[in-house]
Amino acid sequence: MKVLIVDDSHATCEIIRRALQQFEYRKLFLRCASRVDDALAQVASWQPHIILTDWHMPDKTGIELLETLHVSHPDLPVAMISTVDDATQIDYATSLGCAFFLSKPFSDDALRSAIMPLVLEQEANEVIAEDEAVPLREELALPKTDMLERLMQKNISDSLVLKPIRAQQLDESKVPCVMVVYAERGSQRPRVIGVLDVYAACVLASSLQVIPEEEAHKAIHFNQINPEIMAACKEALAKTAYAFLDKQSKMSLFVRSCTFLYKSHPKLERLYQYPIDSRLDLSCEREGMAQGKMLIVGV
């Protein structure tokens, strides 16, 4: 999840950055802007999920940023971290949709507690209703979301939940990742390719075996999936491979390969460009863990 910090003080940016780097629930990708115009440019190009802004800055103020985004990006949460203590000014910021107002100086725990509801809200906003999903092409060996969820609950853990989400784009939060290839049993021809972010891999792995908290923390924050997590993730995927059914032969597919990708490459980029009638974009969740994301493409 991407967070843009807007403050003309380099020291304050670093204080906020250090605090959020220790946000345990999920890794936050952080960028800084020192001016409002720079922030608006990054909103257009980088598309952050959350903005944290100071009030007093050169040229334009944080309240001007809030006013602009209130009109142009009404669903983008903007919070203010400032020395301003005037109740009237704070009420005006709140009327424009300010997500929270944190006074300087602040503790790391106070900032992390304040941003947590915004992170959870952004995860929830990714989910779409079943009837919003575009019907899949009939010839593809892709299952329905509810069918795949039932199989996962039966064969892996009854605490697993799958939900359809908005079509994903490839960005820094998607790499590294786990790529799984489902193939026909006879010809071994690939029919489906799945991409799991680190969170989805950890959700599946921890649903099958106990993953020590320290190892899960390393995987999530340092992108270091160890062999045990990788093996458990692959086993979980193999246990539900028969959800992927070839429509002509009526035979289920099998997991031909499961690979950890450390960086992006053209094949991965093409997968995220597939049309929405040839793909499933899903969240993979269980209680107490951040939302994982899966892309499943029929090829």
Please report, for the domain that includes residue 85, its CATH number.
Answer: 3.40.50.2300
- Of the pLDDT bands very low, low, confident and very high (cuts 50, 70, 90), residue 13 is very high
Residues in the chain: 299
Select from 106, 126, 146 the last residue of a domain.
126
pLDDT at 211: 81
Q: What is the pLDDT of residues 181-219, one digit of tens each?
A: 999 998 999 999 999 999 999 999 988 888 887 787 788
Per the listing, tokens 């992927």 go with 244
- Which CATH number does the domain housing residue 182 bear? 3.40.1550
Name the residue range of residue 92's domain: 2-126
Strands 190-197 and 292-298: antiparallel
Please tell me whether residues 146 and 101 are part of one structural domain.
no
Share the mean pLDDT of the chain: 93
**Whether the predicted pLDDT of 6 surpasses 90:** yes
Please tell me whether residues 136 and 266 are part of one structural domain.
yes
**Whether the predicted pLDDT of 139 surpasses 90:** yes
Select from 105, 126, 147 the last residue of a domain.
126
- The DSSP annotation for 182-196 comes to EE-TTT--EEEEEEE
Please tell me whether residues 145 and 76 are part of one structural domain.
no
Please tell me whether residues 98 and 218 are part of one structural domain.
no
- Of the pLDDT bands very low, low, confident and very high (cuts 50, 70, 90), residue 220 is confident
> Over pLDDT 90: what percentage of the chain?
81
User: Poorest-confidence range of 22-31, 62-71, 123-132, 190-199?
Assistant: 123-132
pLDDT at 214: 77
Select from 109, 126, 143 the last residue of a domain.
126
- Of the pLDDT bands very low, low, confident and very high (cuts 50, 70, 90), residue 221 is confident
Please tell me whether residues 292 and 170 are part of one structural domain.
yes
Please tell me whether residues 209 and 105 are part of one structural domain.
no
On whether the CB atoms of residues 206 and 230 are closer than 8 A, the answer is no
**Whether the predicted pLDDT of 250 surpasses 90:** no
pLDDT at 7: 96
pLDDT at 287: 86
**Whether the predicted pLDDT of 151 surpasses 80:** yes
Please tell me whether residues 30 and 68 are part of one structural domain.
yes
Please tell me whether residues 153 and 254 are part of one structural domain.
yes
Closest CA to 56 of 88, 16, 104, 4: 104
Closest CA to 198 of 211, 183, 185: 211
Closest CA to 272 of 248, 293, 243, 246: 293
Please tell me whether residues 187 and 236 are part of one structural domain.
yes
Average pLDDT in the 111-119 region?
A: 97
Instruction: Quote the number of domains for the chain.
Output: 2
Average pLDDT in the 75-87 region?
A: 93
